[in-house]
Structure 1
Amino acid sequence: MKIAKILAAAAAGAALLAPVLCALPAQATTAQGVPVKEVPAPHDGGTFSRDIAGGGTTTVSAAPFAAQVSFDAAGTNVQCTGSLIAASWVITAKHCNSTSLRSVRLGTSYLGAGGAVRKVAGRYPAPAGDVLLLKLATPYYGSYVGLSGSFPATGTTARVYGWGYQSKGSGAMSYYLKAADVSVVWQGVDNYGGPSVRTRSESGHTLDGDSGGPLVVNGKLAGVLSTSDILPAPNPSSYTGYYNDHASVVRNLAWITSVSGVRGS
C-alpha cells in the first residue's frame, strides 16, 4: 500500500542508482545477489506503509504507545504506524507526511477499530532524517514510550511492532497488532540520508503496512522504520537474515526535543 522506490547497489550494496517509481520486482538483488531495499517515496496522498511478515500477533498491552496513522478523520484509512511519546505528540516516518494525513488512532490492538481517535493539528518533518512529529488536536493520556538517549550497541536485541501485510504482495493489512524480534547490526542510512539504526530480522520482517513503526530497545524508542530489504518471491518461511533501517531517534533527539519538549533518557 505505497508508492515504492527501488535502491540498487552498484558495488557491494554501497553506490546507489537512481530510484524508479514502479512496482517492485519479485526478486530484486544487487549484482552480488543481496536483496535491495524498499524505499517508500515521500508523496502527497497515495497509499503506502510497512508491516511485519512472520513474527506473531500481540495486544496493545505489549506496546500501549503504538499508534495507527490514518489518512482520514475517522481513523480507518490507516497507512502508517507511529508511537505516542507525550500526551500531544506522536512520532512516525517523514515519508508518511501528506496533506491527507488527518488522524491517529491510539489504545487498540485492532486495525481501524476501538481505542480513541485524535485529529492531527500539526505535522513537523525533521530537517534531516526520516522523522515526522504529529501534534494532536486533543491530548491522549495513555502510556508513552520513552526516547532512547543513546545509540544501541551492535548485537542488542530489539522488537518492532506494526499492522499490515502477512506476506509481500498480500494486499491487505493485518487486523491484529503484530510484533517481531530483530537485532542491531550497525549504523546505516535512512530514506532521507539521515543516520539509521540498521537491524537484522530474526523472527519477522517489516513489509508494506508499518512505515514509521517503533523500534524498541530496552523499553525505549530507538528508531522509526524507514526502509527494509525486499523479500524474494515466494516469501521465505524463515524471515531471518534480512535488513531494515530505522531513522535514529538519538541522532534526531535535539530536534525532537526542540519541537515537542520531549527529552531522551
Structure 2
Amino acid sequence: MKTAKILVTAAASAALLAPMLSGPAAQAAAAREVHHQEKPAPVGDGTFSRDIAGGATSTVSAAPFVAQVSFDSAGTNVGCTGSQIAASWVITAKHCNATSLRSVRLGTSYLGTGGAVRSVAGRYPAPAGDVLLLKLSTPYYGAYVGLSNAFPATGTAASVYGWGDQSEGSGSMSYYLKSAAVSVIWQGLDNYGGPSVRTRSQSGHTLSGDSGGPLIVNGKLAGVLSSSDILPARNPANFTAYYNDHASVARNLAWITSVSGVQGS
C-alpha cells in the first residue's frame, strides 16, 4: 500500500490528522493525498503537461462559480479551490481551514489574477466531514452553483475543476483553470471519516491545490474534493485506475443550510 502525502502546514495538520489516527477513515486514506498547499507555486515548471495530470484547460465561463482559496489578503497565495454557493458564501474543504486562510478570488480563469478578491469574514467547519463554509466580507454577485440533495448513482458521469499542480509532486499549480471527467463509483469516506462520493478519474486526476474543488453532477455540486490516489512518478497515459474522495454535499446538506441558508434541490 502506498504512503499518503499530507500537504498541510503545522497550523492545519493537528485538525486534519486527529480524526485519521485510527479506524476505517485511516485505512481508506492510507494511499491517498490531501490536496492543500499554502505556499505560492511557480507557473510553468517544464513538466510535460500544462494541465493537471491530463484533463483540459477551461475558462471561468464553463464553471463561473469556481473560486480560488488564498492564504494571504491579496488573493495571490492560492492553496485550495472552492465553489460559490451564494453571494456571501463559498464552500471548500475543512482541511484547508488554516489560520492563514484570508481571502477568496472569484470570477477569473487565471491563477492569482483577475476577477475580484473578497476577504474571508468567517470560517465554519462542518461538525463531521471534510467541509468548510467561508463567509465573505462583502457579497460577490456572480453565478452560484446549486447544491445537490441526492447522492449520485454509481456510474454517473461527473466533472471536477481546479488550478492544482500540473503533475504529481511538481509543486507548480496551473495558471489556467482545468477540468477533467470522472465517474461515480460508490460511497466512501473523506479525511474526517464523513461520507464521500468516491469517483474514478477518466480524463485527468486532481492533485495538490485542488482540495475543496467542486464535483459537478448534472450541473449541481455533489461533492467537495477531500483526497485522491497518489499518482506514479510521471503522469500516467490514462487515469482509469485512480480514485478520488469528495465530501458528500447531500450528506452535509442539513448543516450547510443551517449555517448559510442555502438549500439543495
Deviation of 1:235 (Å): 2.5
Percentage of matched positions with identical amino acids: 78
Deviation of 1:53 (Å): 1.6
How many pairs were matched up? 239
Deviation of 1:136 (Å): 0.2
- Quick check: 2:35–2:80 contact (8 Å CA) kept in 1? no
- Quick check: 1:229–1:242 contact (8 Å CA) kept in 2? yes
Give the Cα–Cα distance (whole angstroms) in 1 for the partners of residues 144 and 35 of structure 2: 27
- Quick check: 1:67–1:82 contact (8 Å CA) kept in 2? yes
- Aligned partner of 2:8 among 3, 23, 26: 3
The 1:234/1:94 distance shift into structure 2, 3 A limit, reads same
Letter in 1 for 2:77: N
The 1:78/1:39 distance shift into structure 2, 3 A limit, reads closer
Q: Secondary structure at the match of 2:206?
A: strand
Give the Cα–Cα distance (whole angstroms) in 2 for the partners of residues 254 and 74 of structure 1: 33
Partner of 1:33: none
**For residues 172-251 of structure 1, what are the structure 2 equivalents within 5 Å?**
172-251=172-251
Give the Cα–Cα distance (whole angstroms) in 2 for the partners of residues 179 and 91 of structure 1: 18
Deviation of 1:2 (Å): 2.5
Give the Cα–Cα distance (whole angstroms) in 1 for the partners of residues 120 and 213 of structure 2: 17
Deviation of 1:234 (Å): 2.6
Letter in 1 for 2:250: V
Deviation of 1:164 (Å): 2.0
Determine if the alignment matches structure 1 residue 170 to structure 2 residue 164: no
Deviation of 1:187 (Å): 0.3
CA distances 1:210-262 after superposition (whole Å, capped 9, x unpaired): 10000000000000000100111233121222000000000000000000000
When the two structures are superposed, what TM-score results if normalisation uses the length of structure 2?
0.85
Letter in 2 for 1:2: L
**For residues 56-67 of structure 1, what are the structure 2 equivalents within 5 Å?**
56-67=56-67
When the two structures are superposed, what TM-score results if normalisation uses the length of structure 1?
0.85
Letter in 2 for 1:235: N
Q: Secondary structure at the match of 1:234?
A: coil
Letter in 2 for 1:219: G
Deviation of 1:16 (Å): 4.1
- Quick check: 1:40–1:95 contact (8 Å CA) kept in 2? no
CA distances 1:197-222 after superposition (whole Å, capped 9, x unpaired): 00000000111121000000000000
Pairwise CA RMSD: 2.4
- Quick check: 1:40–1:48 contact (8 Å CA) kept in 2? no
- Quick check: 2:40–2:77 contact (8 Å CA) kept in 1? no
Give the Cα–Cα distance (whole angstroms) in 1 for the partners of residues 180 and 103 of structure 2: 26
Q: Secondary structure at the match of 1:183?
A: strand
Letter in 1 for 2:222: A
Partner of 1:99: 99
- Quick check: 2:161–2:178 contact (8 Å CA) kept in 1? yes
Give the Cα–Cα distance (whole angstroms) in 1 for the partners of residues 86 and 166 of structure 2: 30
Q: Secondary structure at the match of 2:180?
A: strand
CA distances 1:67-98 after superposition (whole Å, capped 9, x unpaired): 00000110000000000000000000000001
The 1:18/1:239 distance shift into structure 2, 3 A limit, reads closer
**Greater helix share, structure number:** 2
- Quick check: 1:205–1:240 contact (8 Å CA) kept in 2? no
Partner of 2:264: 264
Give the Cα–Cα distance (whole angstroms) in 2 for the partners of residues 180 and 137 of structure 1: 31
- Quick check: 1:48–1:209 contact (8 Å CA) kept in 2? no
The 1:239/1:191 distance shift into structure 2, 3 A limit, reads same
Q: Could you tell me which runs of 5 or more consecutive residues in structure 2 were left unpaired when the two chains were aligned.
A: 1-5, 18-23, 42-50
Partner of 2:123: 123
Letter in 1 for 2:116: A
Give the Cα–Cα distance (whole angstroms) in 2 for the partners of residues 15 and 144 of structure 1: 31
- Quick check: 1:147–1:264 contact (8 Å CA) kept in 2? yes
- Quick check: 1:38–1:228 contact (8 Å CA) kept in 2? yes
CA distances 1:116-147 after superposition (whole Å, capped 9, x unpaired): 00000000000000000000000000000000
